[in-house]
Structure 1
Amino acid sequence: MEPKELRPIVAGLFTRARRRTVQVAVEQEFLVADSTTGAVVPIERVRQAAAAATATPYVGFEPGGQLELSLPCTTDPVTQVCTLTDDLQRHLAADHISIYALPVDPRPEHEVPLQLVTPRYVAMHRHFDSIGPAGRRMMRRTASTQVCLDWWPGRAGAEQWRVLNLAGPFLAAAFARSSGPHGRLTTWLDTDPARTGFDDRLLYGDDPVAAYTDFAAGATVFTTGGPVEHLTTLFPPVRPRSTYLEVRFLDVQEPHAIGEVVSALTSLVYDDDRRRTALRALEPERAHLADHWRSAAAGDAATAARGHELVPEVELVA
């Protein structure tokens, strides 16, 4: 796709907020299984079982039937996620359905089919299959905790974008709950590097819109919905969402542990001194980001230790 088609739409993804706010929203994914047989549960059955739950307005699904809670902004994400999850689990249990905060589904691939068969997902599945097995594993058998953070105007907003991208591999390693060849992060790294960008391509030059436009233009087009739909098929570790930034690089966390994730991310993004200190330390690593992501995916202890150093007052998961 031509950069000139993409750039005005990409620019809209980088508009940023008009003032500084410090809101947080969490998107929490879960694997789903029949609590009696362990089998995959059809999405419609999950919908019906969850119909009376308090969390129902926030329930969505990933291609393999993973359940996602896309929650509104709050000052207390741990209480929010735990309360809604507990209530949701009670309703699902009545229909013998369980949900699990596991980053990779232990069930074999043939037992976890593609449940969302919209043209977009079918085309995506076909494209990823042309590269290797990681794409179908990513779509159908992985789960993440994603954190959405307010994106500020001016210099601070530019710093937020850079620090999250630069700190990504280290924080991913610090919070990792899977690693190795079949870990969640390895799966993402192997899915389609041209549309995931787990290297320094998103930080090229001084114009993030230009860098992101080039990234988008370099990814294979497999949908028919034009540039807007094409941009939805990109999966960078940090996604620009106009007025907020969506952190996507974390393994799914247990609900009670989400506060540690939020504390680490907000301390980097919303604290001017810490953000700038981290940037000074991380900028020399930009050219080595691809190596750092691979080290994080492999479970490298030194990479995880660097994540601890970035937010020393936050007690990270070992």
Structure 2
Amino acid sequence: MSIPQQGGGPIERFEDLADYLAAGCKPKADWRIGTEHEKFGYCKDSLKPLPYDGPRSIKAMLEGLAERYGWQPVLEQGNIIGLSQNGANVSLEPGGQLELSGAPVETIHQTCDEVNEHLREVQTVADGIGARFIGLGAAPIWRQEEMPMMPKGRYRLMTDYMDRVGTMGKTMMYRTCTVQVNLDFASEADMVKKFRVALALQPVATALFANSPFLDGKPNGRKSWRSHIWQNLDPARTGMLPFVFEDGMGFERYVDYALDVPMYFVYRDGRYINALGQSFRDFLKGELPALPGEKPTLSDWADHLTTIFPEARIKKYMETRGADGGPWRRLCALPAFWVGLLYDQTALDAAWDLAKGWDAETRDGLRAAASVHALQGEAKGIRLLDIAREAVRISEAGLKARARPGVGGLVPDETHFLNALQESIETGKVPADELLEKYHGEWAGDLSRIYGEYSY
């Protein structure tokens, strides 16, 4: 999510930056699951993206959710740009993608219930204004010039900056959607192991959830165009972070990396101050050109951490970021996949055994192959389908070991949330394969049919 961070006091010493991350360490009993997912809104009659303002708009959606379901508005310069309720948030991505950042919950049953309730609320409000929402990794038809810009200061700054540092930044901002899960760690050592597993196996998630084979109204030659975009964005703040796999990895090493990522902005008094390309290290010394003589707070540090976009990242928890947005079953399957791998020690150890022999070239090769071929991809003789099969097996064992029941105890554990992934393993096909078969088959190249058949 991209709502400004709050509550951080002054930074007294360099160690405060690592201590901020370390403050997220929790005993296992307190580990939680936070699922975030984005979706595209569009006008039901014209199939065009929702503008920000007007009777049929993103603003109308947010106001409708607030009025009907008790969400509290989040404002920026008088504009409603988000909602909050009971630890959850609804926020806007640059092109009007509506994001649910779920409350931290204990089980996949709870996070899936939350997703379903949110989609029900969204559908009810959308029906009232003639809108609908669809879960895909990339907007299939809309061109860049058709996309609205949401009235958030950070997005104006980022839009101006993107063309200076890569070729696909604005496409990422305005025409992609993701689903991700946020998970806890117990200690620095636990963080390091989970971080390594999450990064190494992120190509598996990209492959299993690949759902963006179209752009500008036609096939784009890749099953996850969204993943391709992230590989051609801004090398200073994206990627697979090879240093994470080196000796000496810990909170301080991540701080060193984050300090070298160029800044976007500083948030002051409700406004985003342009600090594009400037150095947080200079900020620590009171030498930031955007705010000469002023030193940062921990809130500034927290904001800066939200502008770093590797395939997995650390804040006071860990985010896994490699999956395309998609249908509702996969919104529940992603947290199930990662919780099964990372929240049971035996599963975590097995997952690391699966990936620990890979070098950086292999990890990058798998990432690139997942973008193009999904489960049919391979790198250095390693097939993504084989890795995915083993990773899902390990995840299933981890969820069985957790043994968190649902539906009043009638469902013994969380393993059924992996069913969608099991089907992909059995068939070798992911959502992108299904979409391409439809496009070349019964749709006869009419991509507008995707809205009627795949909207929530």
Calculate the TM-score normalised by the size of structure 1: 0.88
The 1:23/1:125 distance shift into structure 2, 3 A limit, reads: same
- 1:98 is paired with a residue of what secondary structure? strand
- The one-letter amino acid paired with 1:142 is T
Q: Deviations over 1:230-253 (max 9, x none)?
A: 3321112222121x2122211113
Q: Deviations over 1:247-288 (max 9, x none)?
A: 221111322333322221111101111111111221121422
The 1:304/1:214 distance shift into structure 2, 3 A limit, reads: farther
What fraction of aligned residue pairs are identical, expressed as a percent?
Answer: 24
In structure 2, distance between residues paired with 1:6 and 1:123: 28
Mean alpha-carbon deviation: is it higher for 32-41 or for 199-208? 199-208
The 1:96/1:220 distance shift into structure 2, 3 A limit, reads: same
Q: How many residues align?
A: 313
Report the counterpart of residue 345 of structure 2 in structure 1: 272
**What displacement does 1:54 show?**
3.4
In structure 2, distance between residues paired with 1:292 and 1:59: 33
- 1:86 is paired with a residue of what secondary structure? helix
- 1:239 is paired with a residue of what secondary structure? strand
Report the counterpart of residue 151 of structure 2 in structure 1: 116
In structure 2, distance between residues paired with 1:175 and 1:85: 19
**What displacement does 1:34 show?**
1.2
On the 8 A contact 2:38/2:135 being kept in 1, the answer is yes
On the 8 A contact 1:200/1:290 being kept in 2, the answer is no
Report the counterpart of residue 50 of structure 1 in structure 2: 65
In structure 1, distance between residues paired with 2:70 and 2:386: 36
**What displacement does 1:10 show?**
4.3
The 1:53/1:144 distance shift into structure 2, 3 A limit, reads: farther
Mean alpha-carbon deviation: is it higher for 87-96 or for 123-132? 123-132
Report the counterpart of residue 203 of structure 2 in structure 1: 169
Report the counterpart of residue 205 of structure 1 in structure 2: 247
Report the counterpart of residue 24 of structure 2 in structure 1: 16
Aligned partner of 1:191 among 219, 233, 238: 233
The 1:212/1:6 distance shift into structure 2, 3 A limit, reads: farther
In structure 1, distance between residues paired with 2:120 and 2:371: 31
| Higher percent of residues as helix | 1
Residue 68 in 1 paired to residue 82 in 2?
A: no
In structure 2, distance between residues paired with 1:127 and 1:199: 22
Calculate the TM-score normalised by the size of structure 2: 0.63
Report the counterpart of residue 27 of structure 1 in structure 2: 36
Write the mapping of 1:127-276 to structure 2, written as runs, cut at 5 A.
127-153=161-187, 155-178=189-212, 180=221, 183-224=225-266, 226=283, 228=301, 229-242=303-316, 244-276=317-349
On the 8 A contact 1:163/1:278 being kept in 2, the answer is yes
- 2:186 is paired with a residue of what secondary structure? coil
In structure 2, distance between residues paired with 1:7 and 1:291: 35
Structure 1 residue runs of 5 or longer lacking an equivalent are none
- 2:304 is paired with a residue of what secondary structure? helix
Larger Rg: 2
Q: Deviations over 1:111-151 (max 9, x none)?
A: 00322340x32222222111344100111111111111122
The 1:171/1:275 distance shift into structure 2, 3 A limit, reads: same
In structure 2, distance between residues paired with 1:204 and 1:125: 34
In structure 2, distance between residues paired with 1:5 and 1:134: 37
Structure 2 residue runs of 5 or longer lacking an equivalent are 1-11, 53-57, 72-83, 214-220, 268-282, 284-299, 377-382, 397-417, 430-456
